[in-house]
Amino acid sequence: MHRLVGLCGLVVSISVAAATPATQRAIRNLNSVFGSVTLLPELRNAVPPGKEQTAKNLLRDLDTACQRGERELGGIPDADKADPAVAELSAKLTEFQAFRDDLKKAIEGGAATSAAHDKLFREFREETKPYQAAVTAFRYGPQGSPQDLKAAAAQLAKLDALCKSKYPGIADDPKLSFQLNIEPGTWCATAAKADAIANSAISAGAAASLDRVVADVVEAKRDLAKNHGHVGVDERPYQLLQDRAGGKAKLEKQLKASLDAAGQPMPEKPFEKLDEALDAFAAEIDRLALTWAFEAPHHDGSLEAGAKGALAKQYPGRAVVKSGMLYEHATIDKNALGVPTERYRTGAVLAKAPGKWCEYREFTAHETYSGGGSYAAPRFTFGAVRFQKCP
């Protein structure tokens, strides 16, 4: 006589007449033990990264199930071993044992691989320390002169050779990259394209430097009225107005040096936007030049004469046609004890200059206190230029 028993998802046949009560109890126990273990075929022969703990947990469960199965089935009388349920559980035990052995090898192999991988990462970290700064710079947008960028690219070419010779195929590992603060796959990928990155950065930098000059001219034109027509003499827009051809020649030399370093040709019309901006700037100067008046109604013959001589030395080619003082009296600076330290007074000159307009410049005459109520000879400083009509 046989009856069916379902335990933990397994349905086995028990020969009621043949199986002793002890055997029936063993069958029920093993059905419960074996039914609690879920085999994961994807872990059997190789443990994927990140699944190490899952594999270890499964191996632990298999060890427990196999030990229990070996003990329970080993105690079944010979007369009951032919029972179908016993035979089925014996087959399941054999399956578990084989899976356990394979999984153990996979875990051991994975551990060995992990140890080797860890060793490789540590070796890479130590050997590539000299290239860390260059890699970091190139990963996040390299900056610097063309010479600096090419030098850094040459450094990374050595890293590239090392990656391909000693560390071929090395890749980032989330766990090790975090623990050791190293991303060898990313480093090697960066090194492989370092020269292209440097060339691109050099080309972009050259274009950006020219764009900045254009932007400065556009800004100077935009702010001309707000600044009462004044333009800084040390600034590029004024210098380009004074000598457009010479200024463009200097810019072209700088641009060509950068592009040569990157192996890039000069653009066909590199200064088209600059010429447009300078033309617009000059047109705005022409528009406003007729609106400005001379703004120095007071006079000091000595200071005005000194300013004319200083202007001739500092800015040759200018002939003063008008001068005056902005304020009637000088300003005196004093220290904490009330003793004078300097006397200064502001004036202005209007000078004929190369080009269609006169140049209006304000000046300050600085006189250092010498003691006894006297001051040293004045020294003159000049401010920005304003283009306006000559008298």
* DSSP notation for 228-249: TTEE-TTSHHHHHHH-HHHHHH
The predicted structure's pLDDT at residue 1: 39
The set of long-range contacts for 173-180, using a CB threshold of 8 Å and a minimum separation of 24, is: 173/49, 173/117, 173/121, 174/49, 174/50, 175/49, 176/117, 176/118, 176/121, 180/121, 180/122, 180/125
- Return the number of other C-beta atoms located less than 10 Å from residue 48's C-beta: 11
In a domain, 177, yes or no: yes
Mean per-residue pLDDT pooled into runs of 10, the chain (391 residues): 42 54 90 93 85 90 92 90 90 93 80 73 90 89 88 94 93 76 90 92 90 96 96 93 94 91 88 96 96 95 97 94 95 94 97 93 96 94 96 88
Would you call 365 helix, strand, or coil by DSSP?
Answer: strand
Residue keyed to tokens 């063309």: 146
In a domain, 212, yes or no: no
In a domain, 142, yes or no: yes
Q: How far apart are CA 358 and CA 319, in angstroms?
A: 9
Of 358, 216, 221, 236, the closest CA to residue 281 belongs to: 221
The predicted structure's pLDDT at residue 110: 63
Q: Are residues 13 and 84 in the same domain?
A: yes
Q: Are residues 28 and 115 in the same domain?
A: yes
The predicted structure's pLDDT at residue 120: 85
Q: Are residues 183 and 257 in the same domain?
A: no
Q: Are residues 64 and 87 in the same domain?
A: yes
In single-letter form, the type of residue at position 367 comes to: E
Please check whether residue 62 is in contact with residue 103, taking contact to mean a CB–CB distance below 8 angstroms: yes
In a domain, 206, yes or no: no
Q: Are residues 149 and 247 in the same domain?
A: no
The alpha carbon dihedral of 213, 218, 223, 227 has a sign of: positive
Of 288, 309, 324, the last residue of a domain is 288
Q: How far apart are CA 235 and CA 92, in angstroms?
A: 88
In a domain, 344, yes or no: yes
Please check whether residue 361 is in contact with residue 311, taking contact to mean a CB–CB distance below 8 angstroms: yes
The predicted structure's pLDDT at residue 112: 60
In a domain, 197, yes or no: no
Q: Kindly give the pairing relationship between strand 230-231 and strand 379-388.
A: antiparallel
Q: Are residues 116 and 140 in the same domain?
A: no
In a domain, 199, yes or no: no
Q: Are residues 112 and 73 in the same domain?
A: yes
Q: Which structural domain, as residue segments, surrounds residue 247?
A: 217-288
**In this structure, what DSSP letter does residue 377 have?**
P
* Crossing angle for the helix pair 194-222 and 244-261, to the nearest 10 degrees: 160
Task: Count the domains in the chain.
Answer: 4
Which residues make Cβ contacts (< 8 Å) with residue 315, sequence separation at least 6? 233, 351, 382
Q: Which helix H or strand E contains 114, and what residues bound it?
A: helix 84-127
- Return the number of other C-beta atoms located less than 10 Å from residue 389's C-beta: 15
Q: Are residues 173 and 253 in the same domain?
A: no
Q: Are residues 278 and 359 in the same domain?
A: no
* Crossing angle for the helix pair 272-289 and 244-261, to the nearest 10 degrees: 160
φ, ψ (nearest 5 deg) of residue 384: -70, 165
In a domain, 205, yes or no: no
Q: How far apart are CA 266 and CA 260, in angstroms?
A: 8
Q: Are residues 153 and 48 in the same domain?
A: no
The predicted structure's pLDDT at residue 5: 45
Q: Are residues 236 and 259 in the same domain?
A: yes
φ, ψ (nearest 5 deg) of residue 225: -65, -40
Retrieve residue 363's tokens: 């000046």
Q: Are residues 76 and 53 in the same domain?
A: yes
